[in-house]
Amino acid sequence: MTIEENRATNGNRRESVAVLGAGKMGGAILAALAKAGDSRLADIRATVQHAHRAATVSKQLGIKITTDNSAAVRNADVVLLCVKPTYVRGVLQEIRSELREDALLISIASAVTTQAIESALGRHLAVVRAMPNTACRIGKGMTALCAGRFAGPEHLAQASELFALMGLTAEVEESMMDAVTGLSASGPAFIYTILEALAEGGIRVGLPRELATTLAAQAALGAASMVLETGQHPAILKSEVTTPGGCTVEGLLELETGSIRATLIRAVDTTTRKASTLARPVANGGSDQDSWSKAESANAVGSGDVRRV
């Protein structure tokens, strides 16, 4: 089901959304939802770990913020689980009895599978995994989505519609989610590092810092927009900038000398492998993760593998 079909089916249905964990990513999502001002979002509420932060965030966004997860999810249509992977099981145990039978649970926790979430809930609830990035805060984010066994096309469309308020979305196989984390979720940090270096290069050749940063950022924005809007391969677009005997080819030679492409490839590969371990507590050598896996196998609701999209 597409976003348009979902809108046609649900008409003017108004939804209540609960965001559990308004930290960096949860806070970015919360800010985007508040900024979107979508009339279909009848009620947006959220939780944080500490009361003093609840008061601060509530004042900033004009949204009800508490420290009570159970109260926040009560009667919510959509629940966004935005806590750290190692906290997921505890939060699910806390809220599972309060979730409505028709609620949609969306988790952005890295490495925690839909099957693990379903097992922890012990109920046939619709679960969707999402992997957004921090650019969602300004509506320029990228979010990958995959569905659990009890989530249908309408639930994916519902999740897509929600994250479309924050940028682009894509439906992927759940087996790809760690790779999505390594590239898309961590990618902005890699780009910021590149932008910082480009700006420093501009400063080195005499540009004021503010101007150098603006030039570097706009160059990156323009280049990214060219890839997305033209659909052409980056190598082809690069060749349009590179004239024979010109200055750009000299700069590209320096980048190749510094192995920039190999370094970025390794960065994505390393980040992807790390992402797969994030649900495992470091302090006890992973015993909690082992027990999570055993519980998942023993208590899985239904049968068969996670449904792929």
Q: Among 177, 208, 234, where does a domain finish?
A: 177
In a shared domain, residues 155 and 218: no
CA-nearest of 286, 284, 277, 306 to 117 is 306
Question: Residue 246 falls within a domain, yes or no?
Answer: yes
Region of poorest pLDDT, from 149-153, 201-205, 255-259, 305-309: 305-309
In a shared domain, residues 210 and 260: yes
- Spatial neighbors of 45 by CB under 8 A, at least 6 apart, are 16, 17, 18, 19, 63, 64, 65, 66, 72, 76
Distance of CA 100 to the CA centre of its chain: 24
Q: What number of helices (H) and strands (E) belong to the chain?
A: 14, 8
pTM of the entire structure? 0.85
pLDDT score, position 281? 64
| Percentage with pLDDT > 70 across the chain | 86
pLDDT score, position 2? 56
Average pLDDT over residues 272-289: 70
124, two tokens: 């046939």
In a shared domain, residues 115 and 221: no
In a shared domain, residues 123 and 232: no
pLDDT score, position 289? 47
In a shared domain, residues 151 and 189: no
- Spatial neighbors of 272 by CB under 8 A, at least 6 apart, are 178, 179, 181, 182, 183
Range of the domain at 218: 185-273
Which tens digits make up the pLDDT trace of 74-95?
Answer: 999 999 999 999 999 999 999 9
Is the Cβ–Cβ distance between 96 and 122 less than 8 Å? yes
**Backbone torsions φ then ψ of 39, nearest 5 degrees:** -65, -20
Q: Compute the distance between CA of residue 120 and CA of residue 105 in angstroms, rounded to an integer.
A: 12
Q: What is the DSSP code (8-state) at residue 101?
A: T
Which tens digits make up the pLDDT trace of 189-237?
Answer: 999 999 999 999 999 999 999 999 999 999 999 999 999 999 999 999 9
In a shared domain, residues 113 and 255: no
What's the number of domains the chain is made of?
A: 2
Q: What is the CATH number of the domain that holds 53?
A: 3.40.50.720
Which tens digits make up the pLDDT trace of 288-298?
Answer: 444 454 444 44
- Spatial neighbors of 17 by CB under 8 A, at least 6 apart, are 33, 41, 43, 44, 45, 76, 77, 78, 79, 80, 162
pLDDT score, position 280? 73
CA-nearest of 111, 160, 132 to 30 is 132
In a shared domain, residues 216 and 253: yes
